[in-house]
Structure 1
């Protein structure tokens, strides 16, 4: 059985969304078309993958409209939440400042270029 699965992010500005995820360590490994403005970009970070496609994809491929509002939530782990969020500058709106959660993780929420929420999380410390 195949063991590969990944989310597909619909984006009104494909390259702006790609750059947003590159900030969190994702690296583009596939692009269509290979030249010019892409309609599809595959990204990887370790074993994790995601694809960013033009917002017209759902309408063009299976007759569903591009939705409004939050269409998904991505959860991305980083080594330092405060540095990762601070390093975004004006590339993202902070929806919720970094805060320590009762379960031990430090989490912030930012919006990607299309307003979708992205949780930026730092794993709980192994030490008490």
Structure 2
């Protein structure tokens, strides 16, 4: 789960970059507190909290398996994220790129090779 002061921005980022689809919303009507997104076979929960401060230290890393890392990298910055470097082939059989979402959360885009 991710906590964000700007739910709409973060949901738009993951929807447009990874094709995430909303599967749950709490409450059903009115201002949203929790939203669940489905990304392929995984769930990503996003909690709205306007008081959370961005940039505070984090100790988590979201890793998402994707079909084509390089194709997604070209879209990250236009969607408000940050590319931290080019994709690299790793010895464990993945092509990996490190990015940050619009809130600054660390995300690995990992493609099986």
1:64-123, CA deviations, whole angstroms, 9 ceiling, x for partnerless residues? x98812342100011100001112233211123211112221100110121110000101
Structure 2 unaligned residues grouped into runs of 5+: none
Runs of 4+ aligned residues of structure 1 deviating over 6 Å after TM superposition are none
SS at match of 2:18: coil
Tell me whether 1:88 sits opposite 2:81 in the alignment: no
Alpha-carbon offset, residue 35 of structure 1: 4.3
User: Which whole-Å CA distance do the structure 2 matches of 1:55 and 1:10 have between them?
Assistant: 7
Indicate if the aligned counterparts of 1:69 and 1:116 stay in contact, CA closer than 8 A: no
Structure 1 or 2, whichever has the larger Rg, is: 1
1:71-110 equivalences under 5 Å are 71-90=59-78, 91-110=80-99
Q: CA RMSD in A?
A: 2.4
Q: Which residue of 2 aligns with 1:11?
A: 4
Q: What corresponds to 2:28 in structure 1?
A: 34
Runs of 5+ unmatched residues, structure 1 = 1-7, 60-64
- Partner in structure 1 of residue 112 of structure 2: 123
